[in-house]
Amino acid sequence: MATPVQPASDSERLLVAYLRGLEESPIGWQAAHVRLSRLSSSNRREYNTRIVVNNLIHLARKYQGRVFVAHNQDVILVCKGAPVAEVEKAIYNLKYLFQDDPVARDPEFANWFDLSVKLSDLLEIAYQLLKQKVRHDEEQAARAMGAQGDAEPLDPSRLYKLLTVLSSVDIGSYMRRQPICALARGEPPQPVFEECFVRIADLQRPLMPNVNLVGNRWLFQHLTQRPRLPRPRPPVASYRGVHPRTDQPEPQHRHRPVESVHAVR
């Protein structure tokens, strides 16, 4: 069974193909376009995108649909036969999530399409997203080639230097936090706890800007592996007559009298 969420790596092409497949019979199909790309940078983060996707995924599963995540973090839901009231409630929850952002109060932040009459409008948006994606990939590839050409490879000596520096650096300044939310149907997302993580790029820029930390797979795994903490040893009873390590009775040494020792030849 195909996944109802299409990956961002090829989402725009899949969206165009999916909509083109509805051209012959668009009756009953609906779509929602949530423009996360217009939010402020503080709200345009990966975990916010995941919250939006999780808030729409139940509609995609329930109504034969798909959720597409574009490269610019826009989210598009396409489904069939979903009641308008149910979709509007999901969109309202998303607007409530970003209520501190003025863009979320704009009617264009989240649009609802009846594809029986507005399929061409959504197709035009999909083609625009695809063009932006192609341009974005070309620019990113050019930057990556330039960065790899200038960066030095990670080798054991550089890894040792980096680990030495990290042992004396306050890693807390590089920590990022993202809220983990509980999603209940019909309710806005509720934060449960925060996840802490460190991005390698954040470490590379100030510590080793001219070294490609991910260039060597094995050294990178050594850099990011979880440190093994020493296992505490169980307490050992030590008292007279018992060896402190083996818990075995200490051997009884018999000492010869001095005169007997001198008598031995």
Q: Is residue 110 part of a domain?
A: yes
Instruction: Quickly count: other Cβ atoms within 10 Å of residue 62's Cβ.
Output: 14
Q: Is residue 194 part of a domain?
A: yes
Mean pLDDT, residues 41-59: 86
Residues 125 and 157 in one domain: no
Residues 214 and 104 in one domain: no
Residues 35 and 116 in one domain: yes
Mean pLDDT, residues 224-253: 54
Domain span at residue 79?
Answer: 5-138
Q: Is residue 94 part of a domain?
A: yes
- Residue count (the chain): 265
Q: What is the structure's pLDDT at 123?
A: 94
Domain boundary among 138, 171, 191: 138
Q: Is residue 237 part of a domain?
A: no
Residues 130 and 105 in one domain: yes
Spacing of C-alpha 243 from chain mean position: 53
Residues 134 and 155 in one domain: no
Type and span of the H or E element at 162: helix 156-166
Q: Which of 26-40, 152-166, 201-215, 222-236 has the lowest mean pLDDT?
A: 222-236
Kindly report the pTM of this predicted structure. Answer: 0.55
Residues 81 and 34 in one domain: yes
Mean pLDDT, residues 85-95: 87
Q: Is residue 146 part of a domain?
A: no
Q: What is the structure's pLDDT at 239?
A: 46
CA atoms of 69 and 6, how far apart (whole Å): 7
Q: Is residue 234 part of a domain?
A: no
Which residue's structure tokens are 């991910």?
A: 214
Is 153:215 a contact under the CB 8 Å cutoff? yes
Is 200:217 a contact under the CB 8 Å cutoff? no
Q: Give the residues across from 114 on adjacent strands.
A: 30
Domains identified in the chain, total number: 2
Q: Is residue 50 part of a domain?
A: yes
Domain boundary among 114, 138, 162: 138
pLDDT in tens, 37-46: 999 888 888 8
Residues 65 and 180 in one domain: no
Residues 10 and 104 in one domain: yes
Q: Quote the percentage of the chain above a pLDDT of 90.
A: 17
Angle at 251 between CA 247 and CA 255, to 5 degrees: 155
Q: What is the CATH number of the domain that holds 112?
A: 3.30.70
Residues 115 and 167 in one domain: no
Q: What is the structure's pLDDT at 187?
A: 56
Residues 163 and 127 in one domain: no
Q: Is residue 15 part of a domain?
A: yes
Domain boundary among 78, 113, 138: 138
pLDDT in tens, 98-119: 888 899 888 889 888 999 999 9
Q: Which of 42-56, 58-72, 83-97, 217-231 has the lowest mean pLDDT?
A: 217-231
Instruction: Quickly count: other Cβ atoms within 10 Å of residue 200's Cβ.
Output: 13
Residues 198 and 122 in one domain: no
Average pLDDT, the chain: 76
